[in-house]
Amino acid sequence: MITRLRATAIGAPERAAPALEGPLADAVSRLPHRTQTATSGPWPVWVDRERAAVGAWYELFPRSYGGLTGAAHHLPYVRGLGFDVVYLPPIHPIGVTARKGRGNTLVAGPGDPGSPWAIGSAAGGHEAVDPALGTLDDFAAFLRQARRLGLEVALDFALQCSPDHPWVTAHPEWFSHRPDGSIRFAENPPKQYQDIYPINFFPDREEDRVALWTACLDLLELWIGRGVRIFRVDNPHTKPFELWAFLIDELRRRHPDVVLLAEAFTRPATMHRLAEIGFSQGYTYFTWRNTKGELVSYGDELAHGPDSDYFRPNLWPNTPDILSGPLRDGPPAAFKQRAVLAATLGPSWGIYSGYELCENDPASAANEEYAYSEKYEIKHRDFGDPRSIGGFLAQLNDIRRRHPALADLHSLRFHDTTSDSLIAYSKQVGADTVLVVVSIDPFAVAEGSVWIDLGALGLPWDEPLDARDELTGERFGWRGPQAYLRLDPDRPAHVVHLQALPAPGVP
């Protein structure tokens, strides 16, 4: 009976039939009649568009391509890697006061461009484009090129200001002041941002709060009017929940197709609270989950935990702020392994530009940021480098598109392996079953047996299965729940499409 209940390939009534036979039938007959049940009132349901749950993101800094026009020329490359969303850090004017220099130094040199998150200068604030990047017309052309290629553009929404932002002079009441009257700069311990003023979202007077929150909504409306439908929200956990509830309620009412990604590397309860308020998806702890136990535990939490119904994860192996785990001084195999995990464990994943070139230099042994961070300098990359793993990433994104199972989160099921260097899991939607086995040791051969719960997948235990490795195109027979696997750094994973063979005589 258990095998039949688990056979997801057949309809629910047929699966449940054994439970309504024999001794269980009497128990079922004693369940309350409909006249004895109670009903609740209607509950509102919000349905997002697909991009809120599924997508592949690529982050790039336009200034490293000569501005928005140069970045537009780079978009065919991004699309060629199979990504759906190109995400831009803030494209607004950058402040001069307390501008950070190369390597996050406190004194900027004459050619240092500053951090894009230090928003605002004499050239304007959040409503403007940094003149070093181009004009609003150049941004419009960037959007048109993205649309032609089938890419969506995500823009950073960072509610903070440089000391030179027009709001600092026009609305000093919107900022937090020290006892001596000076404005307090931003801190996110242990990090300090002397070039950024945080906004005080609860100024003393109610009319000032209303004006400030309305101004924040107006900024979103402005960029939505210019064609942006996806926003990556910077540090939303450092702003009031009430602000996001107000903004998201208004956005849903006016622009139901807008997608919001919460960049909130903070306590789980806070991350999940932002999702509960209405953020479409959120960054996760994936970047810091590296061992087999950590990955299995966290994957189960994301797919089946108490908040999995509304917390949609977006898995990023790296960001401009984060170079951690096996990527630090890691070989290309580490970058391939982490890409497979991110691209197949979750429906949404993303990388920061340079990942495909296996950029692996940490700022220091204790600092998880990059040496020569693009946040503070312009980087020039050779994307034609033959050592690039760009082709591998394009394969992963192509596999994701062809298999609806990989767009699903809740069917994630981990399977046993005899090696701590091998992690195995499957996903299934209808007849589409994908088995992934990944080595998590980038330096050595990983080998061992994997045990697949075929009954749980609705696949026969004792009949041959058709198995195709989507990474290599290799096709082979699979029979029974156990298989021996061997992966080496040059071949770090199997992504296998499993299906029952047709009955004899059936084409």
- Measuring CA to CA, which residue among 460, 458, 446 is closest to residue 491? 446
Residue 451 falls inside a structural domain = yes
Please tell me the distance from the alpha carbon of residue 292 to that of residue 416, in angstroms, as a whole number: 11
Shared domain for 428 and 356, answered yes or no, is: no
Say yes or no to pLDDT of 3 above 80: no
Q: Under a CB-based contact definition with an 8 Å cutoff, are residues 64 and 70 in contact?
A: no
User: For residue range 320-359, what is the model confidence (pLDDT) as tens digits?
Assistant: 999 999 999 999 999 999 999 999 999 999 999 999 999 9
Lowest mean pLDDT among 191-195, 259-263, 330-334: 191-195
Cβ partners under 8 Å of residue 445, min gap 6: 486, 487, 488, 489
User: For residue range 82-110, what is the model confidence (pLDDT) as tens digits?
Assistant: 999 999 999 999 999 999 999 999 999 99
Residue 144 falls inside a structural domain = yes
Shared domain for 346 and 452, answered yes or no, is: no
Residue written as tokens 């195109």? 473
Say yes or no to pLDDT of 11 above 90: no
User: Which pair of tokens denotes residue 290?
Assistant: 């590296």
Residue written as tokens 């951690």? 324
Q: DSSP H helical segments within 317-455, as ranges?
A: 332-345, 390-402
User: For residue range 109-137, what is the model confidence (pLDDT) as tens digits?
Assistant: 999 999 999 999 999 999 999 999 999 99
User: Which pair of tokens denotes residue 301?
Assistant: 């939490």
With H, G, I as helix, E, B as strand and everything else as coil, classify residue 251.
helix
Please tell me the distance from the alpha carbon of residue 276 to that of residue 347, in angstroms, as a whole number: 19
Residue 333 falls inside a structural domain = yes
**How many domains is the chain partitioned into structurally?**
3
Mean pLDDT value across the chain: 92
Shared domain for 255 and 203, answered yes or no, is: yes
Shared domain for 391 and 495, answered yes or no, is: no
Residue 301 falls inside a structural domain = yes
Q: Under a CB-based contact definition with an 8 Å cutoff, are residues 56 and 79 in contact?
A: no
Shared domain for 135 and 20, answered yes or no, is: no
Residue 342 falls inside a structural domain = yes
Q: Under a CB-based contact definition with an 8 Å cutoff, are residues 163 and 197 in contact?
A: yes
Shared domain for 339 and 379, answered yes or no, is: yes
Residues of the domain holding 163: 52-407
- Please give the pLDDT value at position 45: 83
E strand intervals along 78-229 = 85-88, 152-157, 160-161, 186-188, 191-193, 197-198
Active site residue: 84, 234, 356, 441, which one? 234
Which conformational region is residue 233 in: left (phi greater than 0), alpha (psi within -120 to 50 degrees), or beta? beta
Q: Under a CB-based contact definition with an 8 Å cutoff, are residues 234 and 206 in contact?
A: no
- Please give the pLDDT value at position 18: 60
- Please give the pLDDT value at position 43: 81
Last residue of a domain, one of 407, 429, 464: 407
User: For residue range 47-75, what is the model confidence (pLDDT) as tens digits?
Assistant: 899 999 999 999 999 999 999 999 999 99
Q: Under a CB-based contact definition with an 8 Å cutoff, are residues 84 and 51 in contact?
A: yes
Q: Which sign does the torsion angle of CA 415, 456, 287, 56 carry?
A: positive
Q: DSSP H helical segments within 86-185, as ranges?
A: 136-149, 166-170
Q: Compute and round to an integer the Cα radius of gyration of the chain.
A: 25
Please tell me the distance from the alpha carbon of residue 445 to that of residue 111, in angstroms, as a whole number: 47
Pairing verdict, β 446-451 and 413-417 = antiparallel
Residue 43 falls inside a structural domain = no
Shared domain for 229 and 311, answered yes or no, is: yes
Shared domain for 177 and 320, answered yes or no, is: yes
User: For residue range 274-294, what is the model confidence (pLDDT) as tens digits?
Assistant: 999 999 999 999 999 999 999
Q: Under a CB-based contact definition with an 8 Å cutoff, are residues 440 and 423 in contact?
A: yes
Last residue of a domain, one of 352, 386, 407: 407
Residue written as tokens 């696949």? 459
Active site residue: 263, 356, 374, 470, which one? 263
CATH code, 483 = 2.60.40.1180
The residue-averaged pLDDT of 455-473 equals 92
User: Which pair of tokens denotes residue 96?
Assistant: 């001069």
Shared domain for 403 and 418, answered yes or no, is: no
Say yes or no to pLDDT of 420 above 70: yes
The amino acid that residue 68 corresponds to is L
Q: Under a CB-based contact definition with an 8 Å cutoff, are residues 497 and 426 in contact?
A: no
Last residue of a domain, one of 361, 390, 407: 407
Residue 35 falls inside a structural domain = no
Shared domain for 119 and 6, answered yes or no, is: no
User: For residue range 12-40, what is the model confidence (pLDDT) as tens digits?
Assistant: 556 566 655 555 555 555 555 555 667 77
Please tell me the distance from the alpha carbon of residue 413 to that of residue 456, in angstroms, as a whole number: 9
| Whether pTM exceeds 0.85 | yes
Residue 159 falls inside a structural domain = yes
The amino acid that residue 92 corresponds to is H
User: Which pair of tokens denotes residue 135?
Assistant: 């004009």
Phi, psi angles (nearest 5°) of residue 200:
-90, 105
Shared domain for 398 and 470, answered yes or no, is: no
Pairing verdict, β 85-88 and 55-59 = parallel
Shared domain for 313 and 423, answered yes or no, is: no
Q: What angle do CA 452, 455, 456 make, to 5 degrees?
A: 80
Q: Under a CB-based contact definition with an 8 Å cutoff, are residues 427 and 438 in contact?
A: no
User: Which pair of tokens denotes residue 140?
Assistant: 């419009």
Cβ partners under 8 Å of residue 15, min gap 6: 4, 5, 6, 7, 8
Active site residue 263: yes
Peptide bond into 190 cis (omega under 30): yes
